[in-house]
C-alpha cells in the first residue's frame, strides 16, 4: 500500500508552529519533501513554546526547500492565501496536504457561545475543506494526491450511561468538530474513489506530548500515558505515501503503523524508537 518516501513532493502542513504539526513537518522534511509550513505564530506565542521559525530551523537541517506562510485559519480570507502562496513558493502544485491546525475552546455546551462555536468550526472543519478544495484540481488532473486530516479520539461516542467523566472537561464542541471532520473526510473519499486522491483522518491512540496537550492535561493523566510526537509523525508520513487503496479511513497512529509493519522513527528518520 506504499508509494515510497515523499522525496521531492510538495507538501503543506498547517498548525506547524509546535506539537504534532511541527513533528510532522520535520519528519517529512527528513524524508525529502518540499514544505510550506503555516500557522499564526511566526516568532513567539504569548505562553506556549514553539513557533514557525523554530520549526523552519529544524526542517532546514534536512532540506532548504521549506517556506513559511503565516496565516490565521479562522479567517476565510487569510487562509485563502495559503495554497496560492505555497504553490508559488514551491514552484508547482501541492502533492500532499496535512490539515493539522485545530482550535480548542473548552467550555460546557450548555453555555457555549456562538462566537466560540464559529471559531471552532472555522478552524477545525471549514479550513480543512477550503484547503482541500484548493489543492484538489491539480491532484485530480495528475491522478494522484494525499490529504491527511488530523482528528482525535474525542470524536468517538462515550459509552453509557453511566458515563465516565471526560479526561478533558468541556471538550464537547471540540469532539463535535472532529466527528464532523471524520465524516467529511470519508464522504469526500467516497466521492473521489478511483481518482487516485487518497483522503484519510488520523487519530492519536494516546494523548500526544505536545505543548498544548501537556498544558491542558497535566495532572489529569499520568506523564507516562503521553505518547511521543514521533508516533503521529510517522503515521502521517505513512498516509502521505500510501497507495490508492488506503482512503476514506479513520486511522489510529500506532495500530496503522503496526498494520503496515512500519517502525516509529526519530523525527530525523535516522533511528527507530523502541516501545
Q: Could you report the per-residue pLDDT of 133-171, keeping only the tens digit for each?
A: 999 999 999 999 999 999 999 999 999 999 988 878 899
Domain ranges of the chain: 10-259
In this prediction the pTM is 0.94
Residue 1 has pLDDT above 60, yes or no: no
Report, in angstroms and rounded to the nearest whole number, the Rg of the chain calculated over CA atoms.
18
CA distances from 154 to 39, 50, 123, 209 (A): 23, 24, 16, 16
174 in active site: yes
Give the strand pairing for 96-99 and 66-70.
unpaired
List the grid coordinates of 232: 503521529
State residue 241's pLDDT score.
Answer: 96
Q: At 44, is the pLDDT very low, low, confident or very high (cuts 50, 70, 90)?
A: confident
Give dist(CA 69, CA 79) in Å, integer.
Answer: 10
Active-site annotation holder among 70, 124, 136, 174? 174
Cβ neighbors of 126 (< 8 A, separation 6 or more) are 76
State residue 217's pLDDT score.
Answer: 57
Q: At 77, is the pLDDT very low, low, confident or very high (cuts 50, 70, 90)?
A: very high
DSSP annotation of 264 reads: -
Q: Are 33 and 8 in contact (CB under 8 A)?
A: yes
Residue 51 has pLDDT above 80, yes or no: yes
DSSP annotation of 165 reads: P
Give dist(CA 36, CA 139) in Å, integer.
Answer: 17
Mean pLDDT throughout 244-272? 96
What 3-state DSSP class applies to 201? strand
Q: Which residues pair with 148 in a beta bridge?
A: 98, 200
Query: If we measure between CA atoms, which residue out of 191, 271, 189 comes closest to residue 234?
Result: 271
Counting residues of the chain whose pLDDT is more than 90, the rounded percentage is 83
Mean pLDDT score of the chain:
92
pLDDT digits (tens, 9 = 90+) for 95-137: 999 999 999 999 999 999 999 999 999 999 999 999 999 999 9
CATH 3.40.50.720 fits 10-259, yes or no: yes
Amino acid at each position: 500500500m506504499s508509494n515510497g518516501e515523499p522525496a521531492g513532493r510538495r507538501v503543506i502542513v498547517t498548525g506547524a508552529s509546535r506539537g504534532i504539526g511541527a513533528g510532522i513537518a520535520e519528519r517529512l522534511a527528513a524524508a525529502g519533501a518540499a514544505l510550506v509550513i503555516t500557522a499564526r505564530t511566526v516568532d513567539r506565542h504569548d505562553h506556549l513554546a514553539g513557533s514557525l521559525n523554530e520549526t523552519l530551523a529544524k526542517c532546514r537541517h534536512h532540506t532548504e526547500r521549506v517556506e513559511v506562510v503565516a496565516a490565521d485559519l479562522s479567517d476565510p480570507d487569510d487562509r485563502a492565501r495559503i495554497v496560492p502562496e505555497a504553490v508559488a513558493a514551491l514552484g508547482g502544485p501541492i502533492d500532499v496536504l496535512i490539515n493539522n491546525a485545530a482550535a480548542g475552546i473548552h467550555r460546557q455546551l450548555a453555555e457555549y457561545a456562538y462566537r466560540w462555536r464559529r471559531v471552532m468550526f472555522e478552524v477545525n472543519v471549514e479550513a480543512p475543506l477550503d484547503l482541500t478544495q484548493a489543492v484538489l484540481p491539480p491532484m485530480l488532473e495528475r491522478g494522484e494526491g494525499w490529504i491527511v486530516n488530523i482528528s482525535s479520539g474525542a470524536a468517538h461516542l462515550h459509552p453509557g450511561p453511566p458515563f465516565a467523566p471526560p479526561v478533558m472537561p468541556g471538550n464537547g464542541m471540540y469532539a463535535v468538530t472532529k466527528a464532523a471532520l471524520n465524516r467529511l473526510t470519508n464522504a469526500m473519499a467516497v466521492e473521489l474513489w478511483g481518482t487516485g486522491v487518497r483522503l484519510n483522518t488520523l487519530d492519536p491512540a494516546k494523548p500526544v506530548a505536545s505543548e498544548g496537550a501537556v498544558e491542558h492535561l497535566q495532572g489529569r493523566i499520568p506523564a507516562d500515558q503521553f505518547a511521543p510526537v514521533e508516533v503521529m509523525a510517522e503515521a502521517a508520513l505513512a498516509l502521505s505515501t500510501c497507495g490508492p487503496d488506503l482512503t476514506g479511513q479513520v486511522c489510529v497512529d500506532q495500530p496503522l503503523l503496526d498494520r503496515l509493519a512500519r517502525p516509529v522513527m526519530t523525527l530525523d528518520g535516522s533511528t527507530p524508537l523502541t516501545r
